[in-house]
Amino acid sequence: MKHRWIRWVPAVAVPAVIATGVIVVPLAAGAADLPVKSPADVIRLVAASDTKTFSGTVEQSSELGLPSLPAVSGSSASSDSSSAGEQSALELLTGDHTAKVYVDGATRQRVQVLDQLAERDAVRNGSDVWLYDSKAQSATHVTLPDRSPSGTDGATPTPLATTPQALADKLLAAADPSTTVTLGAPSSVAGRDAYSLVLTPKTDATLVGSVRIAVDGATGIPLRVQVIATGATAPAFEAGFTTFSTDRPDASVFRFTPPANAKVTEQSVPERSAAKATEHGDHPKPQVTGEGWASIATLPAGSAPASLTTDPLFAQLTTSVAGGRALSTSLVSVLVTADGRVLVGAVPVSALQAAAQ
């Protein structure tokens, strides 16, 4: 339960940020030797992609306006694995990162995040899933049941959750009338010709100005996702391939053995009924108000425990506002009210304050 509000940032803020919509304005690519397509054609190209093997290097950069995380060495947070995990999630949002991605079908995948003098791995090899953090010297092993051949039960993190392909899939799967979808000028990403889908919110009540998705003209795989804040020209968040190959990765890439000094935790996948009970019990379901890009997700009172609001990290990342404390970035805002409610949306803090009332 500790620090649950940070865990909800990606869970409820990302859907608010990635609402998509009506497909209009067919536009010829007209360059980079790509056939002329409409936005709907390019979306169908993504949906029809059957490339099952590929690998590459993904670069992620974030300029969200968050302060640098403080050092926690010697603090209570440094000995709290929950707090450390949440700080790691925040650190991923605030900096630049490089990851190696390997895919060989639905059941063999690996993402290797290369930090300075450290690495984090998520590896799927058949029914075996490994999550490894070299800095924490810890590894978690999960054995997936036979009933879950694709590993999409929701009980186990998917290794490809933060790749351009996964991000773009979420964007395009959430299509509704809140956005205009057009084609921008074609581009070259990782040395490959790509179409440029542009998603533009129809409302000015959101912090998001536009989203650009570069789609490989040959395979239909999204190669890059850029999220641009309202009034800005440079992306506030970007994840894209810098190298990309459709060759089948070597099988050895998916064989993972934790180092001898790693603390290994075995984790079981709960039964569906138990997972549903947990979803409706320990994890409160957010209430969503508003529409599309201006949606606001609200967790009930008590979702932000006292252990969170008294944490020095919480005080540094948030500012005092009427009704509580707020975390404000160029794309997403979070409000923690005095009674422990948590409101999240791709909207200004003032919109969250109005919704809290």
27-38 residues labelled b (16+ CB within 10 A) or e (exposed) = bebeeeebeebb
Q: Is 201 or 174 the better-scoring residue by pLDDT?
A: 201
Instruction: Assign 263 a pLDDT band (cuts: 50, 70, 90).
Output: very high
Q: How far is CA 328 from CA 29, 85, 171, 264, in A?
A: 37, 21, 22, 37
| Res. 25: pLDDT tops 50 | no
The pLDDT value given to residue 67: 61
The pLDDT value given to residue 209: 94
DSSP 305: -
Q: Is 218 or 280 the better-scoring residue by pLDDT?
A: 218
The pLDDT value given to residue 32: 64
Instruction: Assign 319 a pLDDT band (cuts: 50, 70, 90).
Output: very high
Q: Is 97 or 19 the better-scoring residue by pLDDT?
A: 97
Mean pLDDT calculated for residue range 75-82: 40
The pLDDT value given to residue 149: 47
User: What are the pLDDT digits (tens) for 116-167?
Assistant: 778 899 999 999 999 999 989 999 999 988 754 444 444 444 455 568 888 8
Domains within the chain, CATH numbers bracketed: 4-267 (2.50.20.10), 284-356 (no CATH)
Q: Which of 82-96, 136-150, 266-280 has the highest mean pLDDT?
A: 136-150
Residues 59 and 239: their CA atoms lie apart, in Å, by 6
List, in order, residues 6 or more apart from 240 with CB less than 8 Å away: 58, 59, 164, 189, 190, 214, 223, 224, 225, 226
Q: Which of 17-21, 78-82, 341-345 has the highest mean pLDDT?
A: 341-345
Q: How big is the chain, counted in residues? A: 357
Mean pLDDT calculated for residue range 231-238: 93
Q: 250, 190, 214, 204: which is closest to 53 by C-alpha?
A: 250
Q: 90, 118, 130: which is closest to 329 by C-alpha?
A: 90
| Res. 250: pLDDT tops 50 | yes
pTM, entire model: 0.80
Least confident of 5-9, 18-22, 177-181, 305-309: 5-9
The pLDDT value given to residue 262: 94
| Res. 205: pLDDT tops 60 | yes
